[in-house]
Structure 1
Amino acid sequence: MRFPKIALASAVVMLAAACGGGDDSSSGENPDSLTVWVMGTSQDDLVAYFDEAETRFQEQYPDTAVNVEFIPWGDAQESITNAIAGGDAPDVLEVGNDQVSSWASQGALLDIGDHVGEWAPAADMDQEALEYGTYNGVQYGVPWFSGVRTLYYRADWLQEIGHEPPATWDELIEVSEAIEEEYGVPGFAAPTDFTNGIASFIWGNGGEIAVQDGEEWTGRLTDPETVEAVEFYAGLTQDGISPQSYVGETELVALADIANSQLGMYIDGGWALGSIEEQAEDPEVLENIASAPIPGAEGNAPVFAGGSALTVFGLTSYPDQAFDLLGVLGDQEGGKAYADVAGFFPAYPELLQADEYQNDPARAAAATSMQNTRFFPSTPRWNAADLDNKILPGAVLDIVRGGDPEEVMEGANEQLTTILNEPVE
């Protein structure tokens, strides 16, 4: 039996026998059961998915049951922390794809590099998404599913004023101004507290946020392309394209506006459609909300592929069997099936070419954008830079308020580089 390296703090290793889905694996026997922790709440379609996954898994391990526990996202931090400390623990664990490095640094995840290297489906995955599952060069997770943001717009309005959805920055301004002139409402929303949206504008102009060289991170916020992109995004508010009421706000502030004909275009993910539907006073408006890829400087902009990764918990007693279960959940069959029932996209670019994605008006734009994705710095320190210090939103806010773009971005870059290179606790 092959046992990959376990990257754990020494204080945690002693707890291994108390955790995982089965007893001590030294006997070479297979476990009676393995446990999967899935983030979110139980739904009938998800339960049916895991029933099918158990059937597939038992083709290889007929005497091993698959137990599935749904962990609300709000409880994930506490639940995983308690599991590290020796409490109830899973064998296979879903984590947000931007959380892999954080949990790996805390010893919660198993090094699965050897397994992934021999796992055929890995070659067909989105390779950037697969790379995002590493920390310090070690593979800890594989992408399970992804979701992306697109540009939502009033299709009936654009048809009436004779415009296609904007594909470039110039067209974004042109269409926004035409909407405001014709309908008397803002054409586009550019909330300042919106890292994912700001990042697409940076990437859509050929800019970068930060790059890694060895163990060192270097901020790239002073690159001309990055400065120009952030200045353009902030200028949408300064020039009146986007209302001042969105300053300091997230994209959530625009939901009610587009739902009730008070806004022409904004950026969000498909997961927001339920909230739009709830807030729409006139349900017929929903029939006229369509989506397109986010416009870049000269064409479609790259987007951050948010989603989840599948990992093996660091203290499982059955690492080989746990990875085999991960493989059933995350291969082309299992990954696509889960993405479909969860309302996201599979991590396999070739699958996204299928008619069911490309010819579905509700999913075509996102499916196209899924083939043009980027990722934030793969380090636990990114959360400190973004969630705690709001470096990019803060820079946009400072420029909107009149700060010199080059000076603002220089200060932001120094802060970003410092934070990303701070020791991981």
Structure 2
Amino acid sequence: MKRKLVATIGVAGMMVGVAACGNDGGSDSGKSGGDKTLTVWVMDGSAPEAWIAEVNKEFEAKHKGVKVKVETQQWNGIQEKVTTALSEDTPPDVLELGNTQTAGYAVTGGLADLTDSKADLGYDGWNKGMVASAELDGQLYSAPWYAANRVVIYDKAAYAKAGVQPPKTRDEWIAGLEKIKKSDSKIQPIYLPGQSWYVYAGFVWDEGGDLAVKDGDKWKGSLATPEAEAAINFYKELQSFSTAPKDKDEATPQQSTDIVPKGGVASWIGLGWEAGGAIDAITKAGGKADFGYFPVPGKTADKPGSVFFGGSNLAIAERSKNKDLAKEWLALAAGKDHMAKYAQATEGGLLPNNDAAQFKPPAGSFAEAMAQAAPVGKITPVTPGWANVETAPNPIKDYMTKVLKGTDPKKAGEEADKVITERVNQE
């Protein structure tokens, strides 16, 4: 992920840097005074202090003379820093990578191939939606670590006034928004900007489509398809209940702190840190937030709607001088036992890589709704060129705005596909 994750409400204070971390400089892996140092890079906000201390204590107890040096990194500028580190002779041994960034590093040869270590790492137990980001062309280059996804956040008072219960299907969702609209003309049934493309991606996946698909050895955009059209039509129906701009995303303005705290919003779709941000802003303004949460509804009641998994993976540098030790540390940290403790340490606010390790969050919490959607979580197309697609101006965002303003979905899709195809095949 590209931002610091504070996915659970109330755990922001716990998700801090590791007290024993060194500076943010390069690794000194290898021999040091006769002992070995295993250097691990984690991102700010990812590793609860007590959790990583326990992992390292257990690891060091098994490997006398080996010390684990954890260095906390900042997301700002991390891609350039990782690129440089992986090209040097003394890179960090283990490093955290955003799940959408992993393929880009793998294709350069900077990451160790872990395919032969699948069994040791616990591959068979990993969440299938998270695994996709760790692989490229059938080879494994990292272990999924954690993820988070969006849920629907709603104002309990507004829903109660309209007599609406959290829906299980898309039809129930729309029917509920209709009731809210009729109950109070001054409130938006849902705040949904026109360019919330991660939300739209989930609808495309629900229809059996994708944003881009493999075409021989290349990739091509796939918005000019019946699946993408069905998805944007549903998005358009949802967006009709909102007064949000059709040419902006959820961060422009920031929905959680600039829109929701002002009132007049019955529901919105967001991440845990956004829910926490809205609660803080409302509290500071002298109000009291009373939110409820439910997974994005699916087409049928048997499973929720698909959601984008934002998260991180743990990889090993190809030039690491301690690959075997790094693999053992990775197997320990990403293993079921410690992932269960990780889920507990984050109070269920971050999803562990193994569904069996999921912490049972409190009933009615954001974490509970997020966990309910975890089995249908997915990521964007896994290819090094995907990062080019997200570069502004994002063609998916432009496509969405055009359709919402009246352009034929097929025509808008064909225009977007040309840009996606060109960009996605650039590495």
TM-score, normalized by length of structure 1?
0.85
Relative to structure 1, is the Cα distance of residues 31 and 109 closer, same or farther in structure 2, using a 3 angstrom cutoff? farther
Aligned counterparts, 1:6-405, within 5 A? 21-23=29-31, 32-40=36-44, 46-86=48-88, 89-116=91-118, 118-119=119-120, 121-183=122-184, 184-212=186-214, 215-237=217-239, 239=240, 241-245=241-245, 247-251=247-251, 253-256=254-257, 257-281=259-283, 285-286=288-289, 288-299=290-301, 300-342=304-346, 343-352=349-358, 356-357=360-361, 359=363, 361-405=365-409
Check the 8 A contact 1:36/1:91 in 2, yes or no.
Answer: yes
SS at match of 1:337: helix
Corresponding residue for residue 19 of structure 2: none
Check the 8 A contact 1:189/1:246 in 2, yes or no.
Answer: no
The superposition leaves residues 202-228 of structure 1 with CA deviations (integer Å, 9 ceiling, x where unpaired) of: 223333222325533243322212112
SS at match of 2:122: helix
User: What is the deviation of 1:232?
Assistant: 2.7
CA distance in 1, matches of 2:333, 2:357: 16
CA distance in 2, matches of 1:350, 1:85: 37
User: What is the deviation of 1:321?
Assistant: 0.6
CA distance in 2, matches of 1:197, 1:235: 13
CA distance in 2, matches of 1:63, 1:87: 22
Which segment drifts farther, 254-263 or 220-229? Answer: 254-263
Corresponding residue for residue 411 of structure 1: 415
Relative to structure 1, is the Cα distance of residues 247 and 411 closer, same or farther in structure 2, using a 3 angstrom cutoff? closer
CA distance in 1, matches of 2:154, 2:196: 18
CA distance in 1, matches of 2:424, 2:124: 30
Relative to structure 1, is the Cα distance of residues 177 and 363 closer, same or farther in structure 2, using a 3 angstrom cutoff? same
SS at match of 2:50: helix
SS at match of 1:59: helix
SS at match of 1:151: strand
Check the 8 A contact 2:168/2:298 in 1, yes or no.
Answer: yes
CA distance in 1, matches of 2:269, 2:129: 23
CA distance in 2, matches of 1:38, 1:19: 13
The code of the aligned residue for 2:248 comes to G
CA distance in 1, matches of 2:254, 2:132: 33
Relative to structure 1, is the Cα distance of residues 333 and 307 closer, same or farther in structure 2, using a 3 angstrom cutoff? same
SS at match of 2:419: helix
Which segment drifts farther, 378-387 or 242-251? Answer: 242-251
The superposition leaves residues 111-161 of structure 1 with CA deviations (integer Å, 9 ceiling, x where unpaired) of: 111122x31621111133223211233211111011111111112321232
Relative to structure 1, is the Cα distance of residues 312 and 214 closer, same or farther in structure 2, using a 3 angstrom cutoff? farther
State the identity as a percent.
Answer: 25
Which segment drifts farther, 81-90 or 122-131? Answer: 81-90
Corresponding residue for residue 8 of structure 2: none
User: What is the deviation of 1:41?
Assistant: 5.0
CA distance in 1, matches of 2:312, 2:38: 20
User: What is the deviation of 1:176?
Assistant: 2.3
The structure that is helix-richer by fraction is 1
User: What is the deviation of 1:314?
Assistant: 2.0
Corresponding residue for residue 8 of structure 1: none
SS at match of 1:307: strand
User: What is the deviation of 1:273?
Assistant: 2.3
CA distance in 2, matches of 1:358, 1:224: 40
Relative to structure 1, is the Cα distance of residues 182 and 339 closer, same or farther in structure 2, using a 3 angstrom cutoff? same
Which segment drifts farther, 259-268 or 95-104? Answer: 259-268
Gaps of 5+ in 1: 1-17, 25-29
The code of the aligned residue for 1:190 comes to L
Check the 8 A contact 1:235/1:400 in 2, yes or no.
Answer: no
Check the 8 A contact 2:43/2:75 in 1, yes or no.
Answer: yes
Aligned residues: 394
SS at match of 1:35: strand
Check the 8 A contact 2:246/2:405 in 1, yes or no.
Answer: no
Check the 8 A contact 2:90/2:319 in 1, yes or no.
Answer: no
The superposition leaves residues 346-386 of structure 1 with CA deviations (integer Å, 9 ceiling, x where unpaired) of: 1112233x6x2374633211110011112210012111112
Check the 8 A contact 1:190/1:233 in 2, yes or no.
Answer: no
The superposition leaves residues 230-273 of structure 1 with CA deviations (integer Å, 9 ceiling, x where unpaired) of: 13313444x4x111435323256321433343211111111212
The code of the aligned residue for 1:21 comes to S
Gaps of 5+ in 2: 1-25
TM-score, normalized by length of structure 2?
0.84
Corresponding residue for residue 23 of structure 2: none
The code of the aligned residue for 1:292 comes to F
The superposition leaves residues 47-103 of structure 1 with CA deviations (integer Å, 9 ceiling, x where unpaired) of: 222221111112321221111000011131232133134286311000111110011
